[in-house]
Each structure stands twice: as structure tokens, then as C-alpha cells.
Structure 1
Amino acid sequence: MKLFVIGCFVVLMVEGVFGKGVLKRDVNEKALKKDEDVYGELNEQDTDLQKDQEDYYDEAEVSDNQPLDNGARRTSVKLDLLSKPETFVQMIGETVRLPCSVSSKDALEVIRVWSKNSNPIFQGDINIKNKHNYLLLPNGTLQVVLEDAEDFGTYSCTLLLSDSERPEVEHKIIQKTSANITALYSNNKMNVFETDDSATLTCEVTGYPRPTVSWYKDNDKLADGESLTIQRVKPKHAGAYRCFADNKIGKPAHQHINIYVNHKPLIQVDKYIVNSDHESDAELICDVSAYPAATVNWQKDGETIVSNEPKIKLERRRNNERNVLIIKDLNEKDFGKYSCVAWNSLGKETKDVNLVKTPVVRKFEKNQSNESTKDVILQWKVESKQPISMHELQYRKQGETNWKTISPDVTDAENDVYLIKHTLKNLEPGLYETRARSKNGHGWSEYSKTVPFEGVLAKHGAHHSKPKHNKKENRLQESSLDIPAQHRSEELVPVGESTSSSTSLTSSLILVLLTVLTLRQ
């Protein structure tokens, strides 16, 4: 019986195994039906499972590969556009890389569309414009080699994720341009102002980055900004104003504008006394400013001097503002007082210049003090065609009547100019004044203008007002300051004694002294 059962089981197993093999090889219908009767429930489950798997793969295939109407592909990876808008300021010949980064490194199949000024230049990795200076890098960055002005503009990168998802980043490439002045003008079209008018000068500029603008007059910087305002115009404000624009790209730009102020002539004379000698030459100079322009001439003894070369020559220099009278081969009658006379429709001005043979003392140039030696060093110059034989220096305290007179040493001249330096020693505190003159073969010069100066002890006097201290006392004070605060009581009080005991001992000594004094009395 046991052998029968085992045999049946073997037969059933063989039939089951070979039955499935027949199914796979498309066996006859009868054998297939028999297997389905025996294993129908299992075969039905296998068939459903296979069908589920086929349906799954079909759906995945459609999801991954079926293109959308707009050419984008669906992706199961969530993407974010990481790149932010940037502005690049560059020059022709430079290379720019415009980023378009996404949040997932696995999203390699995302389609980017690059556009310039809204015109597509890249669809995916296809160079639509076929420009050799555009290159799409593997990470989606667009590299642009700037060849000409057309390569500057606005570039945008768009991700084609779906019909509704199209994130975009926009970059700008702006061309660096050097500073340029496009207009320079004043609030008065004629650039002519009356005294106390308000004048505003404007300098309009272009360039990227934006240029900085500065204003200059006679090489002196006045202000920064595209506008310069003078609240109340005076004759001194007339002249050329220069606008200077710079953005560090190329050469700075600069232009100037002249403004004019209506006023009567103003005369400036550098040397009111001019030294020369017989058979030498002399130049007399006066600078005249006026608007409208002034008429200028030189006069001597009330008579107008006319050009009579080679003896007399009249010149105009520095935009006709400098008026020069040149006299050659001087004789005795050429020395004396000359007048520079200027006039226009608004008034007249006159300034005198003396031509002399005696020395001319120029202004004092230095006033040096030496606190350690209590000395003052005075220095000045003297002009003389003839050799100097003597110098004289006078000084006194301000408010005093009498002068103290000194004769400084005479040194050699350089180009008819003598440099005199003298030291006044041990001056008392206070304010002083000084003057000087010199002598040559034609006599003494006039005294120079009186010049004030300060005695060096004026500073030392402050020290004398401070209370004096005994040197030993000072040393004690200084040494005590070197002792840290927490240790000072330990240093000053003997070991083993307290502060209170020290105070008690001091009181006892004072009592003993008072007793002794009483007994003596």
C-alpha cells in the first residue's frame, strides 16, 4: 500500500512538471485543459501577475519616453532652479559664464532653453544661432566670448519641466565704457554773472560703471558731483572751471568752462619796489583782471609810456592779464615811480611800482624757535644789483618805543639775492616785532614792513607758574605710583604693625613734641 501511494505521488509530480513544460511549448489542447483542471487556481494567479507586470512596464515606458506637446519630458525628480539673476560688467574680448543650475544632480535630461533678448540661442544642446562664441557647458552654464557690442544684452535660461512648470533665470551682460562728458554748461547761457549772483555749473557724463565727477579751478579741487554751485559770485570766482570724470576705464574725461563776473579792474602787483642799476635792465609787472576787458597802460610822471624798442617794450602775457613794462640799459632818469593804470566801463584802478637803485628787503620767510636754548631764528631776503655792504635788524617788544639794533653778517649773494639769517638769544616772554634794511653803494634801503613774532619763553613761562616740588619728594611719589594698589599698604607699614597702630604712634610723637615746646616756653 505504501508503495502504491508513493508511486501515485511520483506520477503526479512528473505530470505537474511536464504539464508546465507543455504549457510553455504550446502543447495540445487536451493536455493544457488537464493541467488547468488540476492547477487552474495557481495558473490563474500566475496569469494575473504577468498581466500586472506588463501593465506596469507599459505605463512606465509611456511616462518616461512619451514627449509632451511642448517638447519637454515628465520627470519624477523634483527640480528647483538654484541660479539667481546676475549682472556682469565686462569688456569686449572677455569671457562670461552664465549659470543655470538645478537642485538635483540626477536631472541630467532636463531641457534648458537659452535666449538672448528673448530670441532663442540654445534648445537643449542644439546651438540654434550656430555662433561659435556660444558654448553650452555640461552643467547647463552658457559660456559667451564677447566679440562685439552685439554680444551684450539680457540672457535668460528656461527649464522645460511641464506645460505649467517653466522656471527661468535672467542675467545681464553690460559693456564697460569709459567716462565721457556729454554736456558742460552754466545756469546762465552766456556764462556772465553779476556780483552776488548764484552760479550753477553742470557736467553731464556717461559711462559704465558710473563715473565720479570732480570740479577744479586753477588745479585746486573744489567739490565732487555733477553740479557745482557758487551761492554769491564775486570777481575772484571768475575763471576756468574744469570738470573731471573718471570710472577707471580707459582715460578720464575732462573739459573746462569759463565764467565771467562783471566788475571794474582789479590790479595785483607782485613787487612794489624793483631793484636795478645803471646800464642794467628792469621788468615792471602788474596783473589786471576785469570784465568787460580793461584797457591798461603804464605811466611815469603823469605821461603814458609807449613802446619804443629796443629801449622800451610793452608785453601782454597770461591771456592778456599780465602787463609787463621792460626798460633796457637804465640811466639815471629811468629810476622813479611808475603807475599801472587800468579802466573799463565799470571803473578805473591804479597801482604804483618804484624802480630803485638801493637794496630791496623782501618779506621775512621763517620764524623758528628753539625751546631748549630759548632762541628765535629770523630769516629774510634782500635783492640788490650792487654788492651789499651792511645789514641792519631791529626788534622790540610790542608796545615799546625804542628799537634794539643788530648788524647781521653779510654773506655772498646768489643771482643778486642775499639770504640773511640771524638768531636772537635769550628773549624774555612776550610778543615782539621786527624790521630790517640793507645798504649798498647807492645808500640805505627803506625799512621793511614790521613783522610780528613770539618769544620762545612765552611757552616756558607756563612751566614756571607750576608749583615746584622737592626732587626727593618727586622720586618718592613716582616710586609709590609704581607699587600696585593692593600692595601699597604692605610696603608703607612696617611688618607686624597695623595701620591703626602706626596712627597711634604718630599721635604719641606729636603729643611729646607739644610737651617739649611748652616746657621750653
Structure 2
Amino acid sequence: MPCQVIHTDNYVVAWLKDDKYLYFESQTYTEDDKRIVRLPNNSLVIYNATVEDSSDNYKCSILRNPDPIDLTHRLRVDENPRQESAPPQHSLKGIIRVKPSKKVEVKQGHSITLGCETDIQPPPEIKWFIENKKVDGYDPDVILDGNYITIQKVNESHSGLYQCLAEDGSEMPAMEAINVIVNYKPKIEVEKNIVYSGASIESEITCIVSAHPVELVTWYKDDKKLIQKKGSMMYHKAIPKSNKTKHILKILHTSARDFGEYKCRAENAFGHDIKSVILTGVPSQAKIYGAKMTEDDAGIILQWRLESYSPIDEYKLQYRRKGDQKWIFIEPEVKDGKGNQFSVEYPILGLQPGSYEAILKARNAFGWSLDSEPHTFSGDYPPDLALKENSATVRSPGTFLALILVVLSCAFTSLKLFT
């Protein structure tokens, strides 16, 4: 169904069926976007049409306020077609065919060659597109050679609709497409390696699985297979415009016996993958978020944040001058947190010049958190550096020092126990 438009730079062009969006520019709004395709020239193509595709109201619309400009197509799909497969597409000058077929399945790691043949004279320029994006060397594994494309070491990113267009100068150049389906074993990502929760809290563990064909996902706790039962939910939902599916294990009222190691295992005919997630009730690993001077400029106040779904019972702060073997241990005051968020502030006074490191951890009814990443701060700088950004000064007896907080880059990332 063609829709030739001009002067639409300031307007959106959309395709609708029965007043429901199919495409908003190139953004798809149909789950069947591998079969119902908007081509680069704005035509709408329906592959393997069925009776359900019939409608009197396919609309190509320039969304202009207040009055859109519409072109309406009527489509009737014969319930008993005379031929099983569609013929090659015609232009005013000839036909175009694709090779090896309109649908190709290939295993990950293999290579494939796609071709486009035409009897149009003089021979037209063949342009290739992948999912409406022109193939022009952006992927080193996709080699363009005249009317042919070779994909080396195919991976899941190469799945999609490959379209060839014979640019012959006509208003409706011939075009055809090949649906490339890549089969590969599952790959699992986890949103969080550690999920922090608490008693009577709703807990959610998520695995994101990429696979083709569709995978079977099984959940385990402490190496025992989990089954759907009262108090928990196992469900999944597709992630639009991808082969990824989000698999979710939800525990409605978490108790102490629910804490432990969970694994999600995905399997299909080409292999399997497995990832682990820890569900725990202990406080999260503390992260430093800043530092400020004491009111008398005699020390620096380090500041941490953490979360805990149970009341914090105790903090332990340890710091030492680098090179010293002995740590100085302190128990900062426990203050009420806002919701499940807790903050810790503690002034460190009377520091001598040199580099220092500090570590904080917290305890609740379920145990101790992981140690925070070491936070490094140092002194013994000339006074003129004290005005620089992120710097703070302290005054110790007989000495005027500039303390600059140097937070290690790893202090802003959670400790990963599993890969």
C-alpha cells in the first residue's frame, strides 16, 4: 500500500488500521512488525497476508493540526487464494526476486549470503535496507557486494527484515524482502546481582533472557526447583522490538526463609545459560555521597547512604592512615532513617598530613552488610589549593592543611559477587 508524501519535514506520518496505530514514523505499534512492515519510502507491506488483515480503513496520515491529511486503502484478502506463494514484485520495467528465499533461518556463528535479482533494463541500482536502515558498512560483518549481502559470523543482532529496492527511476520502484531469523542459545542478564528486602516486603527478582527459538526458563532456590505456589508469582513479559523477555519471580510477603541464592536457567535446542541472584535482608552496601567541613574547620565529616528494610542496629566505621597496620574503630550514632533510606555522618578530627582510608558497614536483625568500598582522602597540600572544587580545609595544631576527598571510582558501583 503506497503512500508518497512531500513537504512533511515538520509533520509526523503515521499508518493506522481501523484507527489503531501501526506505525508512528518508523516507530512500530504492532506486535506483528516482522510481517507488517513500513518501508523506507513510507509504503506499507503486509507479508503472508491473512483474512484478518482485511479492512476498509488502512490509513496513511500526515498528522497536521488541526486537520490531518489522510490517504485510505481498502484491503480484501481472498480466503482461497489461487496460488500459495506471492509472485515476484513488478515495476513498470520488470520484476525483482530475492535469494535464497523470503524467509531464511541461520544458526549463530554461520555465514549467509542474500541476493536480489532483477530483469529490469537498464540494470537499476540495488539498495539494501535492514529494518528501514540503509546498509552502508556500519556493521563490519555485513559485506555489501553489488546485488548481494554476505553476513559473516551471524549473531542475534543480525535478525530482521532485509529489504532490497531496485532504484529504476520509477515512482514505485520494485522491492522485495527477506526475513532473516537467527537461532541462538539463551543469554541471561540480571537487573541486580543482590536484591535487598525485608520481612513482609514484596520482593522481585528479574532475569532478562535473549534467545531464539523461545526459551524454557526454570527458577531454583538453593539448587531446588521452584514451582508456582501461593505467596509467589512467576511470570514473563516480552520486551518490545527485541528477542528479549523479562522473567520475574515475585514473592508477595517475604520472610526470613525466603532469603538465599536464586538461579534462573534458560534453555532451548541450542544450549542454556544460568545466572544467580542473592535475596537478602541485610543492609545494602553503603556508598559515600559527600563530605563537608566541621563548623570550626578542625575536621572533615564523611557522609554515607544505604538502604535497609529493617531498623539499623549498629554501624561500624574504621579508618587508618595509609601504611599503618592498625585501624581505628568507631561506632557512629544510629539515627532514624526516612523510609528504608539511612544516612551516616561522622566527623574525623585531628588528622595529620597524609593519605587515609575509611570503611563503613551496618547491621540489622538479619546481619551485617558488605563493607563499603574504601574511601580515600588525603592532606598536606599548600593553602592555595584549598579553594579548588571538591576541596576542604582543616585546621590542626600549628598546621593549616587542605584535605581533598578522593573517592575511588569503584565506590560508586555495587560489589558484584556474580558474573
Query: If the TM-score is normalised by the length of the shorter chain, which range does it land in?
Result: 0.3 to 0.5
Structure with the bigger percentage of strand: 2
TM-score, scaled relative to structure 1: 0.37
Q: Which has the larger radius of gyration?
A: 1
Higher relative contact order (CA 8 A, sep 6+): 2
